[in-house]
Structure 1
Amino acid sequence: NFPLVGNFRYILESIRPEISQYFIETNFSGVPFSRQSRSLVYQRAKKQLDTLPFGTQRNVYDVGYEWVNHSLNPKHPDPKSLRVTIGGPECQQKYNASILNISAMSYGSLSKNAVMALNKGAQMSSFAHNTGEGGLTEYHLKNGGDVIWQIGTGYFGARTLEGNFDEELFKEKAHNTNVKMIEIKLSQGAKPGHGGILPAAKVTEEISKIRNVPMGQDVNSPPAHSAFTTPTEMMEFVKKLRELSGAKPIGIKLCIGKRREFLAICKAMIKTGILPDYIAVDGTEGGTGAAPVEFSDSIGTPLNESLIFVHNALVGYNLRKDIKVICSGKIITGFDVVKNISIGADLCYSARGMMMAIGCIQALRCNANVCPTGVATQNPQLVKGLDIEDKAKRTASYHDGTVHSVAEIIGSMGLSSTTELRPWHRMRRTDFTEIKHYGEIYEFLKPGALLEDILPQGWDRAAKAASPDFFNHVEVEEKALVADEF
Structure 2
Amino acid sequence: MSNWIRFLAFFLCAAFTVAFGLGAIWAPWLIILALVFAALTLVGIRDVTQTSHAILRNYPVIGHLRFMLEHIRPEVRQYFVESDEDEVPFSREARAIVYQRAKNVEDKRPFGTKKSVNASGYQWLTHSIQPRKIEDKDFRVQIGGPACLKPYNASVYNISAMSFGALSANAISALNRGAKIGGFAHDTGEGGISRYHREGGGDLIFEIGTGYFGVRDEHGNFDPDLFAKVAADDQVKMIEIKLSQGAKPGQGGVLPASKITPEIAAARGVPMDRDCVSPSSHSAFSTPLEMMAFIKQLRDLSGGKPVGFKLCIGHRREFMCIVRAMLETDITPDFIVIDGKEGGTGAAPLEFANHMGMPLVEGLTFAHNTLRGVNLRDRIKLGASGKLIHAFDIARALALGADWVNSARGFMFSIGCIQAQACHTNHCPTGVATQDPVRQRALVVPDKAQRVANFHRNTMKALADMTGAAGMTHPSSFLPHHLMMREKDGVMITGHEVYPYMPEGFLLREDDDRFGYLSRWKRASSASFAPFDLGI
TM-score, normalised relative to structure 1: 0.92
1:414 and 1:408 map into 2 onto residues whose CA distance is 10
Residue type of the alignment partner of 1:465: R
2:150 matches 1:99: no
Deviation readout 1:280-307 (Å, 9 max, x if unpaired): 0000000001111111111000011001
Match of 1:10 in 2: none
- Offset, 1:454: 3.4
Q: Which moved more, 1:34-43 or 1:50-59?
A: 50-59
2:200 aligned counterpart, secondary structure: coil
Q: Specify every segment of 5 or more residues in structure 2 that has no aligned partner in the other structure, as ranges.
A: 1-62
- Cα deviation, residue 25, structure 1: 6.9
CA distance in 2, matches of 1:199, 1:284: 25
| Matches of 2:428 and 2:203, distance apart in 1 | 27
- Report the equivalent of 2:518: 460
What TM-score does the superposition give when structure 2 sets the normalisation length? Answer: 0.84
Asked if 1 retains the 8 angstrom alpha-carbon contact of 2:341 and 2:386, the reply is yes
State the distance in 2 between where 1:153 and 1:187 align.
9
> What whole-Å deviation, never above 9, does each CA across 1:237-279 have from its counterpart, x for those lacking one?
0000000001000011000000000001111000000010000
Query: Is the deviation greater in 391-400 or in 22-31?
Result: 22-31
Higher mean displacement: 412-421 or 455-464: 455-464
Say whether residues 1:283 and 2:340 are aligned partners. yes
Offset at 1:79? 4.2
Partner of 1:434: 491
Cα distance in 2 for residues equivalent to 1:220 and 1:346: 33
Partner of 1:484: 535
Question: Structure 1: how far apart are the matches of 2:258 and 2:425?
Answer: 8
The count of residues paired between Structure 1 and Structure 2 equals 461
Alignment of 1:356-395 (within 5 A): 356-395=413-452
Secondary structure at the counterpart of residue 117 of structure 2: coil
Deviation sequence 1:314-370 (CA, Å, 0-9, x none) = 111111001110000101111110011100101100001100100101111111111
Shift of 1:484: 2.3
- Given that residues 197 and 291 in structure 1 are in contact (C-alpha distance below 8 angstroms), is that contact kept between their aligned partners in structure 2? no
Q: For the residues of structure 2 that align with 1:460 and 1:338, how far apart are their CA atoms?
A: 29
Letter of the 2:375 partner, please give it: N
Matches of 1:454 and 1:422 in 2, distance apart? 24
Secondary structure of the residue aligned to 1:142 is: helix
1:405 aligns with 2:469: no
The letter of the residue matching 2:407 is: S
CA distance in 1: counterparts of 2:403 and 2:102, whole angstroms: 24
Please state if 1:469 is matched with 2:527: yes
Percent of aligned positions that are identical: 50
Preserved contact between residue 251 and residue 278 of structure 1 (Cα < 8 Å): yes
Gaps of 5+ in 1: 1-14, 475-481
Paired residue for 1:211, among 268, 282, 285? 268
With over 3 angstroms needed to count, the CA separation of the structure-2 counterparts of 1:451 and 1:56, relative to structure 1, is same
Runs of 4+ in 1 over 6 A off after TM superposition: 23-26
Task: Report the Cα distance in structure 1 between the residues aligned to 2:518 and 2:126, rounded to whole angstroms.
Answer: 35
Could you report, residue by residue, the CA deviation over 1:428-479 in whole angstroms, capped at 9, with x for unpaired residues? 11112210111111342111011013342312321111101110123xxxxx
1:87-135 per-residue CA deviation (whole Å, 9 max, x = no partner) reads 0111111100001000000000000110010000000010000000000
Structure 2 CA distance, aligned partners of 1:294 and 1:356?
A: 25
> How far has the Cα of 1:216 moved from its partner?
5.1
The alpha-carbon deviation at position 47 of structure 1 amounts to 0.3
Q: Is 1:121 matched with 2:178?
A: yes
Q: Residue 131 of structure 1 is aligned with which of 188, 201, 210?
A: 188
Give the corresponding residue for 1:44. 101
Question: In 2, Cα distance between the equivalents of 1:455 and 1:165?
Answer: 41
Say whether the 8 Å CA contact 1:189–1:285 is kept in structure 2.
Answer: yes
Larger radius of gyration: 2
Highest RCO, 1 vs 2 (Cα 8 Å, sep ≥ 6):
1
CA RMSD of aligned residues (A): 1.7
